[in-house]
């Protein structure tokens, strides 16, 4: 039987079609509405946000490093400045053959061959449109040489930059310190935001101690770039009116130091060829007048960049030119402590102004045969305190040492600043060592080594044994003697100047507690003996004080470097130089109204009165305007 085809239901099909059209229209409307809503949100509500983002895609913010503050001496002479210099730069994307270009630059001696691997690594590690520095400072001859050959080196050119310069080089090296390239260690202690764009920071001395004042604040400028981040020429800039084009950096503050450049140069000349330090202080306020360590180095080489081999050579130098002996070097103070110890002996009753002792060239403790020898083998004869200071009689101080005791020695010498930080406004100071029973109990692990022996008190009385002091501490101590017990915290920076307004902030002296000596006569007795050290017929440093136009006071010292057997002796000229005694001298002048106090330490110099004392005399002469051509 044949089946009949179903009859179409046009009405149902129309209803289905209409429903589909309506549904499609609704979906289309919703989709269009969401697009329109999104466009409204982007174009109207979020316009400012995306406008700023769009602007940021074509504007790069470049940091503008500040100009570092200048440093002057007490008379306004420049010690550290910033000079324009040309540095050689390479833009990697403009160099077709990097290795060939670098090798040809080495051939004409504009770069060192040893630096080629480092330069290649820098060129390949960063954006190819950013310049890479090849040399920090070019001489005029090198600039002229390269200018002629510039067409041979596409992508290489020299650019002007500011470079730190120290006009007086090694004369101020240890006082000022130096600046060097910022490294990861520096960034750990510095604010990264403040050093955006900065290539250098202080490393030692005043440069690091006052880094926050000298550095300044960075600025910025807007640079229009293309999609690759490359700067667009100025003609095509269309910066947003809502943002400033640049903010100028604020230069660092200028520093005025208490240092006297003349004294710095003179002290450097006096120590040339030797190892040691000279520190001079104004006793009236603690200002450092001179601070020199020898041998020194040229701080300019750090500012312009140096090779690894050059830096390694400096570190390996046997003279340790990078070591600041003035504030970090520690030496047995020797007989330079005798004036201070005399005050302690008088105050404690260990001696008096009339007590006499016979010096026969050695001293022995009761019930002991060990001889503590005097520097003068035949002895000094009958001595009182004045004579013992003037002629530096060791036996006299040996004999009163046990009556004073090591703890009283520590108490009084501590008041003069020995064995403690002076508080100088420079980082890196060493504390030195002032021994006591308490110190020894904590310094040694074995119980037998913790016992303080009478013999240790004896040798401590002439500044030997465990006792160590820095040249700065000795200068500070003699300044305290000069003021009859008034103490000031030593400082180098005298004023800080705002470079924009010229306003100077004066750094006020900081007075410390006075030395506790009740009887004023004791001060005059000790200082009178120090005067005779230099200006009497029997003084140990009479040669250095001869024919002076003013009265002065001083004390020589000799610090033994190695131990000598009980029955042994030696001639200084017959032993190796590094085993010879250190030469020390402290002094101040004028006697009645002290203006300068000096400490000199010459490593392995031998005689304090013969080597160190003339240096101290020359420093005082120059500062007081007498015999300006000394040395």
Q: In the prediction, which pLDDT does 123 show?
A: 76
- Whether 485 contacts 306, CB under 8 Å: no
Among candidate residues 432, 434, 436, the one with its CA nearest the CA of residue 424:
432
Which residues have a Cβ under 8 Å from the Cβ of 210 and sit 6 or more positions away?
202, 255, 425, 493, 496
Q: In the prediction, which pLDDT does 608 show?
A: 86
Q: Which domains does the chain have, with CATH numbers?
A: 87-91+103-147 (no CATH), 262-623 (3.40.710.10)
In a 13 Å sphere around the CA of 328, the CA atoms on its Cβ side amount to 15
Q: In the prediction, which pLDDT does 240 show?
A: 45
Count how many residues are written for the chain.
631
Q: In the prediction, which pLDDT does 241 show?
A: 46
Handedness of CA 318, 321, 326, 327 (dihedral sign): negative
Q: What tokens were used for 582?
A: 């250190």
Which residues have a Cβ under 8 Å from the Cβ of 128 and sit 6 or more positions away?
91, 92, 93
**Single pTM value for the model:** 0.82
Q: In the prediction, which pLDDT does 170 show?
A: 94
d(CA 492, CA 469): 20
Q: In the prediction, which pLDDT does 226 show?
A: 57
Among candidate residues 262, 247, 197, 256, the one with its CA nearest the CA of residue 63:
197
Among candidate residues 348, 92, 380, 355, the one with its CA nearest the CA of residue 230:
92
Among candidate residues 119, 128, 44, the one with its CA nearest the CA of residue 110:
119
Q: In the prediction, which pLDDT does 339 show?
A: 97
Q: In the prediction, which pLDDT does 225 show?
A: 61
Please indicate whether residue 436 is annotated as part of the active site: no
Among candidate residues 557, 204, 225, the one with its CA nearest the CA of residue 397:
557
Q: What is the mean pLDDT of each run of 10 residues along the chain (631 residues)?
A: 61 78 85 84 72 57 81 96 84 82 84 78 69 75 82 81 90 94 76 75 93 88 59 51 66 96 96 96 97 94 76 87 95 95 95 93 90 91 94 94 94 96 94 94 90 94 94 97 96 95 94 92 96 93 91 91 54 62 94 95 88 95 80 60
Give me the catalytic one of 335, 436, 461, 607: 335
As a dihedral over the C-alpha atoms of residue 143, residue 149, residue 151, residue 157, rounded to 10 degrees, the angle is -20
Handedness of CA 419, 527, 353, 486 (dihedral sign): negative
Q: In the prediction, which pLDDT does 107 show?
A: 83
Which residues have a Cβ under 8 Å from the Cβ of 410 and sit 6 or more positions away?
419, 434, 435, 436, 439
């Amino acid at each position: 039987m044949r089946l009949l085809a179903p009859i179409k239901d046009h009405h149902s099909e129309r209803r289905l079609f209409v429903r589909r059209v309506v549904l499609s229209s609704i979906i289309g409307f919703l989709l269009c509405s969401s697009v329109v809503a999104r466009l409204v949100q982007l174009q109207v509500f979020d316009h400012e946000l995306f406008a700023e983002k769009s602007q940021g895609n074509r504007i790069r913010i470049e940091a503008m490093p500040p100009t570092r503050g200048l440093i002057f001496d007490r008379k306004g002479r420049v010690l550290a400045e910033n000079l324009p210099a040309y540095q050689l730069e390479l833009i990697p994307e403009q160099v077709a053959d990097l290795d060939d270009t670098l090798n040809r630059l080495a051939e004409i001696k504009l770069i060192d061959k040893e630096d080629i691997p480092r330069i290649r690594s820098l060129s390949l590690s960063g954006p190819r449109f950013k310049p890479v520095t090849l040399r920090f400072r070019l001489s005029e001859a090198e600039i002229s040489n390269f200018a002629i050959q510039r067409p041979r080196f596409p992508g290489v050119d020299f650019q002007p930059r500011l470079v730190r310069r120290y006009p007086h080089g090694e004369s101020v090296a240890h006082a000022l310190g130096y600046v060097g390239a910022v490294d990861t260690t520096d960034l750990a202690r510095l604010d990264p935001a403040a050093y955006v764009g900065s290539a250098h920071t202080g490393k030692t001395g005043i440069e690091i101690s006052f880094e926050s004042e000298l550095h300044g604040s960075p600025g910025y400028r807007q640079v229009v770039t293309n999609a690759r981040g490359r700067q667009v020429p100025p003609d095509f800039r269309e910066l947003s009116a809502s943002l400033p084009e640049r903010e100028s950096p604020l230069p660092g503050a200028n520093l005025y130091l208490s240092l006297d450049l003349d004294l710095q140069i003179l002290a450097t000349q006096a120590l040339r060829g030797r190892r040691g330090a000279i520190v001079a202080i104004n006793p009236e306020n603690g200002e450092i007048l001179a601070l020199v360590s020898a041998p020194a180095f040229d701080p300019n080489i750090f500012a312009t960049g140096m090779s690894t081999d050059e830096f390694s050579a400096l570190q390996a130098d046997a003279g340790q030119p990078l070591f600041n002996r003035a504030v970090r070097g520690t030496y047995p103070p020797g007989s330079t402590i005798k004036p201070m110890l005399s005050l302690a002996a008088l105050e404690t009753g260990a001696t008096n102004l009339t007590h006499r002792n016979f010096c026969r060239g050695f001293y022995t403790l009761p019930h002991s045969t060990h001889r503590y020898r005097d520097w003068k083998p035949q002895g000094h004869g009958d001595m009182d305190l004045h004579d013992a200071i003037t002629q530096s009689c060791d036996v006299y101080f040996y004999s009163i040492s046990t009556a004073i005791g090591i703890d009283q020695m520590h108490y009084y010498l501590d008041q003069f600043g020995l064995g403690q930080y002076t508080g100088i406004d420079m980082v890196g100071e060493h504390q030195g060592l002032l021994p006591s029973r308490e110190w020894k109990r904590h310094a040694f692990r074995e119980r037998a080594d913790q016992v303080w022996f009478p013999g240790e008190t004896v040798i401590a009385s002439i500044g030997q044994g465990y006792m160590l002091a820095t040249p700065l501490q000795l200068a500070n101590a003699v300044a305290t003697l000069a003021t009859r017990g008034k103490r000031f915290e030593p400082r180098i920076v005298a004023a800080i100047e705002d470079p924009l307004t010229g306003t100077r902030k004066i750094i006020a002296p900081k007075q410390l507690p006075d030395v506790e000596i009740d009887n004023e006569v004791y001060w005059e007795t000790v200082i009178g003996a120090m005067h005779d050290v230099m200006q009497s017929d029997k003084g140990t440093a009479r040669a250095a004080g001869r024919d002076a136009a003013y009265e002065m006071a001083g004390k020589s010292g000799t610090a033994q470097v190695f131990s000598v057997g009980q029955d042994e002796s030696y001639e200084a000229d017959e032993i190796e130089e590094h085993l010879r005694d250190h030469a020390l001298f402290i002094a101040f002048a004028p006697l009645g109204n002290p203006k300068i106090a000096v400490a000199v330490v010459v490593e392995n110099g031998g005689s304090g009165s013969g080597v160190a004392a003339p240096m101290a005399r020359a420093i005082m002469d120059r500062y007081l305007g007498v015999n300006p051509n000394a040395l």
